[in-house]
Amino acid sequence: MVNKTLSEIRPGKELWNIKARVTRLWNATLLSSGEQLSLDMILIDQEETMMHGVINKAYTEKFKPLIEEGNKYRPVENDRIVNFLPTTTLKKVKDTEEIPKYSFNFMNTDMLSARINVDLYLSDVIGVTGHIGPIEETRTNFGFTKIYNIVLLIE
């Protein structure tokens, strides 16, 4: 089966063979009780298309050991979500440079102004980039991950 890109995925019950990197991984929980709802992730493919992926809490034990990191907001500007089902299979592939490890969506102040009081997309930080440091390794709940230290100038 030929690999599809994330931008080629369409709604429906078709089988998709996708090659993508998990660039971010976190537990989505209820703030009131701390109950885990799902294991969420951001997937990125060779075209730098990002998509939100969700594993329902009933299936996290099956998939969590297979995923490495490389609540009503959309973490990326894509209106599609990949849902992992019990029939989903994962296969680790050799690390290649064709899929980027990180991606950021920078936007100008006019685009940010359009997001004022709009809670649809997650806008983590608003500021002007003053400095981007080298990639550093740090420990997370899922093991070690690499991060950039970015200095933002915020009014």
Evaluate whether residue 1 is within a structural domain: no
Q: What are phi and psi of 7, to 5 degrees?
A: -70, -20
Q: Please write the tens of the pLDDT for every residue from 79-98.
A: 677 777 778 777 777 776 67
Containing domain of residue 37, as a range?
A: 6-153
Evaluate whether residue 48 is within a structural domain: yes
Provide, for the chain, the percentages of residues in helix, strand and coil under a 3-state DSSP scheme, each rounded to the nearest 5: 10, 35, 50
Q: Please write the tens of the pLDDT for every residue from 44-56.
A: 888 988 888 888 8
Q: How many domains does the chain have?
A: 1
Evaluate whether residue 133 is within a structural domain: yes
Q: State the Cα–Cα distance between residues 84 and 95, nearest whole angstrom.
A: 22
pLDDT > 90 fraction of the chain, expressed in percent and rounded: 0
